[in-house]
Homo-oligomer: A and B are copies of this chain.
Amino acid sequence: MPDKYNLELYKLKAELCKTFSDPKRLMIISELRSGEKSVGDLVEALGSPQSVVSRHLAILRSRGVVETRRDGVCIYYRLANSKIVDACDIVHQVLLDQISRNREIAEKLKV
């Protein structure tokens, strides 16, 4: 009995993961961990053209990962949900596990 009836849920989860599957978007999320930042701040932090950063922000916005606040001419971005930080941390953990595992394998091959 395939869980096709959950397909829509899996699609939503996949879309959320897709939101995190770009290095620059992860860098943006990382920058926002310490608090809200303007687009200009993020442009500087990432060292990418403003149009590129703005479009990544649009993607993060459209998927509810970040929220905005306008103050005069500047628009400040912040993370919409603290659990996003947790998710990124776990991905970090998984990655570290993989790296150390690969290192072990490499060590064994040296013998």
Q: What residues make up the interface of A, taking CB atoms closer than 8 Å to B?
A: 2-4, 6-7, 9-18, 20-27, 30, 44-47, 64, 81, 83-84, 86-88, 90-95, 97-98, 101-102
Copies in the complex: 2
Q: How far is the CB of A31 from chain B (nearest CB, A)?
A: 8
Contact status B83-A16, CB under 8 Å: no
A23, A84, A95: most-surrounded residue (chain B CB, <10 A): A23
Question: Which one of B7, B9, B22, B90 lies within 8 Å of A86 (CB-CB)?
Answer: B90
**Can you spell out 28 A-B residue pairs with CB atoms less than 8 angstroms apart?**
A2-B44, A2-B45, A2-B47, A3-B30, A3-B45, A6-B27, A7-B23, A10-B30, A12-B95, A13-B91, A13-B95, A14-B20, A14-B22, A14-B25, A14-B26, A16-B91, A16-B94, A17-B17, A17-B20, A17-B21, A18-B21, A64-B101, A64-B102, A81-B98, A84-B94, A87-B91, A87-B94, A90-B90
DSSP class of A's interface residues: helix, strand, loop or mixed?
A: helix
Contact status A93-B83, CB under 8 Å: yes
